[in-house]
Amino acid sequence: MSQLKNDRYLRALQCLPVDYTPIWMMRQAGRYLPEYRQLRSKAGDFMTMCQTPELACEVTLQPLQRFELDAAIIFSDILTIPDAMGLGLYFEAGEGPKFTQSITCMSDIEQLPIPDPEQSLSYVMDAIRLTKKELNGKVPLIGFSGSPWTLATYMIEGGSSKAFTKIKKMLYSDPKALHLLLEKLADSVALYLNAQIEAGAQSIMIFDTWGGVLSHQSYQTFSLHYMQLILSKLKRGHKTQDITSYVPVTFFTKGGGLWLDSIVNTGCDAIGVDWTVNLSAITQKGYIAVQGNLEPSVLYADKLTIESNVESVLSEFGIYNGHIFNLGHGIHQDIPIEHVQYLIEAVHQQSKRFHQ
């Protein structure tokens, strides 16, 4: 049987009964915590934290030392793969991620290597192995990657973007080049995630942060197709009585509420949804797990407002197995810490009646 002291998150991902709804938060290891800010200023910069397994482990564990969360997510960044491909990732204060080189044409793409995760990304695997040991079965550990489409947006735009004009120009004027890039990224992500599973990740999440900027048809062709390709290559194990013998996979497309049926049909174990989705409208509840979907800004509100919003999300989901409570995207960096405590307590307390 499971060696985990708290396996509610893995059980919920398999739509099995739990006594209360498990909760974790996107970006739960991050800048809203004073201990994170302290460690970051000591480390010097974000990439040093990502690439030093001891620091990545410490940051991963920080929120669990404070809160009764039901899962840990390894501290890393979605852009580790493009960095390992040689594009030179760096972070400008207040501007987010940038690359020293961006992708502009077919010949750039043809020259991109497919990174060996145990070589150029070994720091992530080392961080997972170390964190798993330190967790000692307290809660499951989540591994993750960006989706090929989302990674491609940063690689072609050279960093963050508002209008995504460069990648959309390639999509419409040179789709063959974009498909080659997405194929290489899908191969790289599959290798990377399998290495994370091998290192000890007990669940996998694919963040398709920018899938929602695509048209309906383009989403299916340039985003979802490649996530499904990755899924077909993942070593997920088999469902047995031991909950840890299977590695569930969650797809999260921010802004993907219009395509939930298509996402469900990929065969992933769970769909992450943002705050624009009405959970009562998801017809496959109980058959596929759903992660979400509190609006992160609700955490600026007072205790009563947070509690009533939690109640709304739980009621919208209803009395089904397979709900993982989360924010609809990452936690904001200036959220008061005690409000996070209100949220977690409210979810654990209020959800019990949905699981009797």
Residues carrying an active site annotation: 27, 31, 40, 77, 154
Residue 66, annotated ligand binder?
Answer: no
Torsion (CA) 92, 58, 248, 298 in degrees, nearest 10: -60
> Residue 8, annotated ligand binder?
no
Question: 3-state DSSP call for residue 270?
Answer: strand
Q: Strands 96-99 and 89-92: what pairing?
A: antiparallel
Q: Is 77 annotated as a binding residue?
A: yes
Q: Directed axis angle between helix 53-66 and helix 122-135, to 10°?
A: 40
Is residue 199 a known part of a binding site? no
Given a contact cutoff of 8 angstroms between Cβ atoms, the answer to whether 318 and 277 are in contact is no
Please tell me the distance from the alpha carbon of residue 28 to that of residue 13, in angstroms, as a whole number: 19
> Any known ligand binding at 80?
no
Say if residue 329 carries a ligand binding annotation. yes
The CA-based dihedral angle spanning residues 166, 169, 174, 179, taken in that order and rounded to the nearest 10 degrees: 60
Under a CB-based contact definition with an 8 Å cutoff, are residues 145 and 206 in contact?
yes
Q: Is 154 labelled a binding residue?
A: yes
One-character DSSP codes across 220-248: IIIIIHHHHHHHHH---B---SSGGGB--
Whole-number Å distance between alpha carbons of 223 and 193: 17
Binding-site residues: 27-31, 77, 154, 209, 329
Binding-site residues for substrate: 27-31, 77, 154, 209, 329
